[in-house]
Chains A and B, each alone.
Chain A
């Protein structure tokens, strides 16, 4: 399975990459980690005339914590972010452990996965769950796209064809917040059939001060479980409330079926995983002083 021929440009800066995108339009594709793109090239499902490689744009290789958020540059590898996240953002570290296998994560990038927008992948859902956004840079300058406005359809975002996503930002959860993560996959490392990520934090009175729930594998984009978030906020958490909230969140989902799981399965199990991750988050947040 050899790719169709293409020209190749190794951009040494974001600017150079963007100029190539402008010049070649939809004949060009950006290459970062390549763990999603190169299989498509090999299968000839993608046939760009020009590949714009940004791996040598050193300015895009960074990870910075600023003002309660983590900024991850376009070519920072998933494995490197995972190592950072073990201490600083365990929800993200746990999600990353489910992304393929180590060799994939040694090349794959967080920004790449976020921008690739596979609805069954973990990181777009984490972007939603962690109040994330991306910076898209193009000939017209930089703009911030919040996670809620980023995902349009499978493999489709609101990033323009002449824009490069230079960084993804995630908000670090409050220290007292609990988190939960669960997915069902046929094998370890596979794309999820369905998954959920949750955050919960309580006020001084033990009521839910805030909640976040995000699903993946449940439709054409990652999806916030706002019905659950709303149902729980201001309430004292309980198992019954969490079950009801989870069901409410899953009820509005419109998943698609495929070879590995039917739509019915995804919807039903979304409720199960929402329940489990919210319960896990609740358990964790009670322990924090």
Chain B
């Protein structure tokens, strides 16, 4: 395959329309006769519903319908559940798990602030909101479970009455003799770490438009989702229609990050309303709704202990993990097991003992968000590693040098399965090399010297923090692609992957154009449309380039073979002598024989005079099998300055040295890293979804949920290492999430390092000024200082 475009930072083809303001996001869609929906959402964290009265609301001007559970009962099937335990995993790890599905609209009980109780459909959003205020709901509040640790205790109020307790999932796993190794260790360090609740917060909120065509009994729905086929499957189950009568389209989507990759009530309710009202219905989520109703994430407690020899060799890690799921366990094994599988990361640790509990609470349900358990686990591990370094009086970089795996150790197997039930084998990479590259690029030794000088000479507190991860990316088992060429040689690539800013229209076109031998702008990529390809999974888990890319590569290769056969017939040569490049086919070594692909394709069509030279089939569909993940890795280094008087943390520099295998489009890869890092820095310093003791969400607007701006972020420096993946034909690895994994850990380590003279220990995030100052004050008090 001519690899002209692979590896090139080709400017993005989606940019012109987005820059001209001609993108088509869900709220841009207007249909004749369209109505607008607003939801009545529970103001209580936990309550039963005694009655709902809708007459006053329904009487408001412009209101078409007010719908409650009773009105929509025929469609109220349980919402889809994810995260079933794969057989390979169940065979090796004993997991107790309970999942109870959410209903799209609460029937007689609400379990989090924001849960949907009723729906108003009206001539405008404003009129719908006017009416929604008049829906009367008689709630009987129940005690709310807000703290995951308290909620896990026997005797805590039950969120799902059919369960004996609020622990939705429990398992233990590990390898080696951790207890023995810890006992024998020269040094043991133990700490409890809290990772806060924080979220994806895309700039475009969610939205659904649904159009029911009564003439042929078909539904078209535009949905800002990352998972069009999942949404379609949910609608098939709820509406009782076949898939060919339900088309789900994700148009331009303004950011996803996982927040839009889960199943939501509105996915069903808006189509149901369109069917009931016999008119198109649009719902655009507002930001206040988004805060309380779009999936939350993170939120874990780790009680972690590490044992090591005096020379720093790590011997064992024991971790007791608690995960706060929110009100419903929609994602099953995914978040808890991701957490466990990624705990040890790049470190060589011969013994592991983990127990994990996942607890339901009266909060917005959690779903995977960029990193999906990895940021939390890396926080715990990198923090305890730094605590160990301090205990050993060893430089944290040196401690990691002594314990990181390097290329010579790979492939490296951990004796626990991966989440997909397959063996957990690091396939490629060099984590030592990542570390060395990061330290070198940031000038670590110089920073250390400067840190000491700044403190002694000017009383300025600077800190350096390191964090490293190994990430299983591109979970399979497939993302198919159809490649289809038309009469002019242009090709359409259809795939179940869809883009929320990742640039698939460009990077996938690069792969296809190279594989077909045509110019880049002859390729159109269609993602996020269930009508374009029947089976799909969606874009999340850093999976699309590997899974869809591999399918595209192979499918395009098959189309190229068909073109070569046709060209061979046309040019009277052997197919193996045909070259295709830049939209032309020619016999190798005889450039004058060159014919356009248009001519080649046309030659396959029958004419009155004769049949086609070959069958006019220039199409191929491939569902490349990706049984398990491929491993990306990185080391991040944060350089901070702390103002001890105010507790303010300033990020001076941020360095990423990473390996994601080969790069289709280096510019797009860098952009993904930058974006992930920015979200991670937000998690480290600013972002938190906060609930009070009654389960009321206190962070309800952008005034309180603090997304970092350009002033809170430094330039993000990147060093690329390249260890191609042996697990897919492109040699690439997933990169969508990695940037978000390490920043909270790197920043926490840096702040603790900056405040080393006070002897603080950082155990929670985000590190806002009050938190940092409190650490200093507490540390001073412990030392008996003012």
Interface residues of A (CB under 8 A from B): 1-5, 39, 43-44, 184, 186-191, 193, 259-262, 265, 268-269, 272-273, 276
A188 touches B125 (CB 8 A): no
21 A-B interface contacts by CB (under 8 A): A1-B286, A1-B287, A1-B288, A2-B125, A4-B130, A39-B701, A43-B288, A187-B708, A187-B709, A187-B711, A259-B690, A259-B699, A259-B704, A260-B704, A260-B768, A262-B774, A265-B773, A269-B773, A272-B646, A273-B646, A276-B645
Bound complex: CA A193 to CA B133 (Å): 34
A271 nearest in chain B by CB position: B645
Bound complex: CA A44 to CA B129 (Å): 10
| Nearest-Cβ distance from residue A253 to partner chain B, whole angstroms | 16
Contacts of A3 in B (CB 8 A): 126
Instruction: Known A2-B125, A259-B699; judge A189-B709 contact (CB<8 A).
Output: yes
Contacts of A186 in B (CB 8 A): 686, 706, 768-769
Q: Which of B126, B708, B769 contacts A193 (CB 8 A)?
A: B769
B124 nearest in chain A by CB position: A2
Q: Mark B334-360, 1 if CB is under 8 A from A, else 0.
A: 000000000000000000000000000
Bound complex: CA A259 to CA B700 (Å): 12
Contacts of B126 in A (CB 8 A): 2-3, 5
Contacts of B647 in A (CB 8 A): 184, 265, 269
B712 within 8 A of A: yes
B574 within 8 A of A: no
Bound complex: CA A191 to CA B703 (Å): 9
| Nearest-Cβ distance from residue B463 to partner chain A, whole angstroms | 19
Bound complex: CA A5 to CA B774 (Å): 46
Instruction: Known A1-B286, A184-B646; judge A190-B706 contact (CB<8 A).
Output: yes
Indicate the member of B130, B645, B711, B774 with the most A CB atoms within 10 Å: B645
B708 nearest in chain A by CB position: A187
Contacts of A261 in B (CB 8 A): 768-770
Contacts of B286 in A (CB 8 A): 1
A266 nearest in chain B by CB position: B770
Contacts of A184 in B (CB 8 A): 646-648, 769
| Nearest-Cβ distance from residue A270 to partner chain B, whole angstroms | 11
B774 touches A187 (CB 8 A): no
Q: Which of A5, A187, A189, A276 contacts B686 (CB 8 A)?
A: A187
Bound complex: CA A43 to CA B129 (Å): 11
B769 touches A265 (CB 8 A): yes
A272 touches B706 (CB 8 A): no
Contacts of A189 in B (CB 8 A): 709, 711
| Nearest-Cβ distance from residue A241 to partner chain B, whole angstroms | 18
Instruction: Known A43-B701, A261-B770, A272-B645; judge A2-B706 contact (CB<8 A).
Output: no
A193 touches B770 (CB 8 A): yes
Q: Mark B228-252, 1 if CB is under 8 A from A, else 0.
A: 0000000000000000000000000
Contacts of A268 in B (CB 8 A): 773, 777
A273 nearest in chain B by CB position: B646
**B interface SS class:** loop
Bound complex: CA A2 to CA B62 (Å): 15
B126 nearest in chain A by CB position: A2
| Nearest-Cβ distance from residue B105 to partner chain A, whole angstroms | 21
B101 within 8 A of A: no
Bound complex: CA A262 to CA B690 (Å): 15
B698 within 8 A of A: yes
Contacts of A43 in B (CB 8 A): 288, 701
Q: Mark B702-740, 1 if CB is under 8 A from A, else 0.
A: 011010110110000000000000000000000000000
A187 touches B706 (CB 8 A): yes
A187 touches B646 (CB 8 A): no
Q: Mark B113-151, 1 if CB is under 8 A from A, else 0.
A: 000000000000110011001000000000000000000
Bound complex: CA A262 to CA B133 (Å): 34
Contacts of A265 in B (CB 8 A): 647, 769-770, 773-774
Bound complex: CA A90 to CA B287 (Å): 37
Q: Which of B646, B711, B773 contacts A188 (CB 8 A)?
A: B711
Contacts of B774 in A (CB 8 A): 262, 265
Instruction: Known A190-B706, A259-B690, A261-B770; judge A269-B130 contact (CB<8 A).
Output: no
Q: Which 7 residue pairs spanning A and B have beta carbons closest together?
A: A2-B126, A188-B711, A272-B645, A265-B770, A1-B286, A261-B770, A184-B646
A2 touches B646 (CB 8 A): no
| Nearest-Cβ distance from residue B54 to partner chain A, whole angstroms | 19
A4 nearest in chain B by CB position: B130
Bound complex: CA A276 to CA B701 (Å): 32
Contacts of B708 in A (CB 8 A): 187
B769 nearest in chain A by CB position: A184
Contacts of A260 in B (CB 8 A): 704, 768, 770
B698 nearest in chain A by CB position: A259
| Nearest-Cβ distance from residue B291 to partner chain A, whole angstroms | 11
Contacts of A190 in B (CB 8 A): 703, 706
Q: Mark B635-646, 1 if CB is under 8 A from A, else 0.
A: 000000000011
Indicate the member of A1, A3, A39, A273 with the most B CB atoms within 10 Å: A1
Contacts of A191 in B (CB 8 A): 703
Q: Mark B756-781, 1 if CB is under 8 A from A, else 0.
A: 00000000000011100110010000
Contacts of B703 in A (CB 8 A): 190-191
Bound complex: CA A189 to CA B690 (Å): 22
Instruction: Known A186-B686, A259-B699; judge A5-B130 contact (CB<8 A).
Output: yes
B648 touches A188 (CB 8 A): no
